[in-house]
């Protein structure tokens, strides 16, 4: 049986954006089993991959020790296609007929376009996520069918987070009487670490008699994807969750500050990136990991509401 090796990312968003590379590899080695290596965070995304032979996780600890450990875990198979999105030397230490190893480029291009170029594919390799019945069952248990507005207020760093009170304000406007999503359920998704900001949003809405269901930390990534697959609108910060929403076809409005949407914008016909201040101005703050405040204050509630209206109307959803 043919074998494919994919060394993916340690970050959720990057793993989603490059997921089309694996689908394309399957056309190069039909019927192949897949061995996947990635960081612990995105690992659940690959649970439902067909013909999954093995799923390995690794943590980048600096140096080469973790790469040598990974190499040892991946031995014993001759790979027909070996893809390394981390640009390491691991695949060169393993037998493989064809290798696709990432190398940095001076070109400014989206991560999806980057993966397409790496695989030398004749068409764009759109992100694809595979869902299983467990994911759909968990999503149904978490939220019933029907119109939904999903908020994704989390992000890996504070600088990338729109303020909680602004999420609450735009949710009120979009779901109030006469609004495009009047009466829609409001759901808040994210990891357990996003619980405090989700609680702020819920409390702000509750003060006006508007109920929001806080699901932060309650669902794994595939269950989140299954829920987002049927949501009416997703609004969230630049995050892995935003990329999951776009990948499963949800109308997705991504809010951007200190990251470059030319590289990391949500990908898809029903996805839009929105920002306040230009990226170049925010780059003057330096490394956003060292900034202990939000850099999205120039993105107004009015602007997000207008973009949400445009996205809904453009897709014939309102």
Domains of the chain, by residue range, sit at 3-119, 135-314
CB atoms within 10 A of CB 140: 14
Cβ atoms within 10 Å of 287's Cβ, excluding its own: 10
**Cα 138 to chain centroid, rounded:** 19
Architecture field, domain 3-119 = 3-Layer(aba) Sandwich (3.40)
Give the pLDDT of residue 315.
64
Residue 317's pLDDT is what? Answer: 58
Q: Decide: 250 and 199 in contact? Cβ < 8 Å.
A: no
Do the domains at 3-119 and 135-314 have one common CATH topology? yes
Which segments of the chain are extended strands (E)? 3-7, 33-38, 52-57, 79-84, 96-101, 148-152, 185-188, 212-214, 233-237, 252-256, 271-275
Q: Are strands 79-84 and 252-256 parallel, antiparallel or unpaired?
A: unpaired
How far is residue 162's CA from residue 83's CA, in Å, rounded to a whole number? 35
For tokens 């992000």, the residue is: 155
Kindly report, residue by residue over 252-305, the tens digit of the pLDDT.
Answer: 999 999 999 999 999 999 999 999 999 999 988 889 999 999 999 999 999 999
> Could you say which of 3.40.50.2000, 3.40.1390.10, 3.20.20.60, 3.40.190.10 is the CATH number of the domain covering 135-314?
3.40.50.2000
Which residue stretches of the chain have pLDDT < 50?
none
Distance between CA atoms of residues 13 and 256, nearest Å? 14
Q: Residues near 96 by Cβ (< 8 Å), separated by ≥ 6?
A: 5, 78, 79, 80, 81, 82
CB atoms closer than 10 angstroms to residue 69: 14
pLDDT at 284 (0 to 100): 84
Burial of 316 (C-beta count, 10 Å sphere; 0-12/13-18/19+):
exposed
Sign of the four-CA dihedral 295, 296, 297, 298: positive
Distance CA 283, CA 257 (A): 9
């Amino acid at each position: 049986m043919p074998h494919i090796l994919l060394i993916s990312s340690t970050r959720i968003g990057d793993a989603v954006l490059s997921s089309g590379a694996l689908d394309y590899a399957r056309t190069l080695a039909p019927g192949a089993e897949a061995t996947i290596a990635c960081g612990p965070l995105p690992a659940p995304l690959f649970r439902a991959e067909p013909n999954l032979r093995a799923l390995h996780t690794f943590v980048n600890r600096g140096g080469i020790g973790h790469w040598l450990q990974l190499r040892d875990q991946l031995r014993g198979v001759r790979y027909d296609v070996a893809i390394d999105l981390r640009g390491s030397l691991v695949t060169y230490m393993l037998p493989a007929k064809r290798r696709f190893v990432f190398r940095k480029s001076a070109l400014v291009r989206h991560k999806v376009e980057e993966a397409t170029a790496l695989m030398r594919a004749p068409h764009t390799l759109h992100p694809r996520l595979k869902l299983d019945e467990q994911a759909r069952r968990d999503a149904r248990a978490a939220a019933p069918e029907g119109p939904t507005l999903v908020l994704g207020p989390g992000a890996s760093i504070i600088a990338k987070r729109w303020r909680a009170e602004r999420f609450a304000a735009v949710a009120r406007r979009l779901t109030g009487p006469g609004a495009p999503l009047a009466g829609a359920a409001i759901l808040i998704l994210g990891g357990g670490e996003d619980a405090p900001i989700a609680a702020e949003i819920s409390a702000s809405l509750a003060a006006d008699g508007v109920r929001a269901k806080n699901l932060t930390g309650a669902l794994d990534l595939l269950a989140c994807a299954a829920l987002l697959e049927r949501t009416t609108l997703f609004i969230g910060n630049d995050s892995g969750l935003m990329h999951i929403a776009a990948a499963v076809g949800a109308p997705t409005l991504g809010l951007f500050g200190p990251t470059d949407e030319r590289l990391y914008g949500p990908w898809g016909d029903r996805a839009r990136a929105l920002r306040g201040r230009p990226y170049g101005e925010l780059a003057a703050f330096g490394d956003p990991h060292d900034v202990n405040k939000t850099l999205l204050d120039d993105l107004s509630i009015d602007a997000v509401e207008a973009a949400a209206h445009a996205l809904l109307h453009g897709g014939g959803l309102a």
